[in-house]
Amino acid sequence: MTRHHPVDWEDQRNSLARAEPRRGRRLTLAATAHCPGGPLVVYSCHLEVFCGIFSRIAQFADILCDCRQQIRKGLFHQAILGDLNTMAHGLARLSPKYCCDKMRFWTIGRPEALFWHRNLITVPDTNFLPDGDWQSAGEMEVGKAPVNEKLLSWGMPEHVCRDALNPGFEDPFDPVATITLDNPNFRIFGYGLVKGKLDWVLLRRLTVVTKQVGNHDYSASDHKWLCADVTFSSLES
C-alpha cells in the first residue's frame, strides 16, 4: 500500500506546520462492527485540506487498497465516511494554500466532488465480478491489470491510477446538489464563494433506507452532516 501524506505536521521546515502546530499526519481509522447481519468494516476519514486534488485522491487510493484487502478476507459490507475535503472550487481555487496543484485551474467549471464522481467513483475496479465478488488474479487475463485511464489522462502517476478504482462503493448523495460546506463568512450578497460537498458517505453492499442532511444553520459545526440508514444487501444481489 502506498501511504500518501501531503503534509508532515511535525516537520518545522514546513511553513504550514509552523503556522498551525499539530502532531503527526492525517490518518484514517478503521474498525469492524459486528452487526446482526454480519461484520461491517467502517472507515472514518479526514483527508488533507492543504493540498490539491491529486494528493487527496492519492490518499483515498490508499484507503481503497485496504478495502480490497478486507474484501479478500470475506468482509464484503463496508462504509467509507468522513470529511474528504473536496474543496477545489470557487474562491478556494485562488489560494495556493488550499489548492496547490495544476488541477486548481484545469478543473475550472466543475466542483472537486463532481470531478471525483466522474473520474473515480464511477470508474469500476474490473478485478471484481458484476456481483461484486473478488476475482482472483488467476482468473484475470495476463497483462490486463486494471488502471484508471481517466485519472491517467489527467496526469496522475500510474501507480496511483492502479489503486484509484472503485471496488463497488456507491454514493447515495448527489455530488453537486449536496452541499456540506457553505460558510456564511464567505457569502457576498447571499452567494457562497466557498461551498461544495466536502463530506462523503460511500457504501458497499449496503442498501439505503433513508438519508438526511443536517446542521443547516452551521450551529454545531462548520460543516453539515450526512446520515444514511442502511440494511445489508444480499451477497447474491
130 confidence band (pLDDT: 50, 70, 90): low
For 202, how many CA atoms within 13 A lie in the half-sphere containing its CB?
26
Pairwise CA distance, residues 86 & 84, whole Å: 6
Domain spanning 15-232, CATH architecture: 4-Layer Sandwich (3.60)
* Domain ranges, ordered by start, for the chain: 15-232
Q: What's the mean pLDDT in 31-54?
A: 94
The pLDDT value given to residue 236: 47
The alpha carbon dihedral of 82, 53, 59, 67 has a sign of positive
- pLDDT, tens digit (0-9, with 9 covering 90-100), for 58-76: 999 999 999 999 999 999 9
- pLDDT, tens digit (0-9, with 9 covering 90-100), for 140-154: 444 567 999 999 999
pTM of the shown model: 0.89
Q: What's the mean pLDDT in 198-212?
A: 97
- pLDDT, tens digit (0-9, with 9 covering 90-100), for 155-169: 999 999 999 999 999
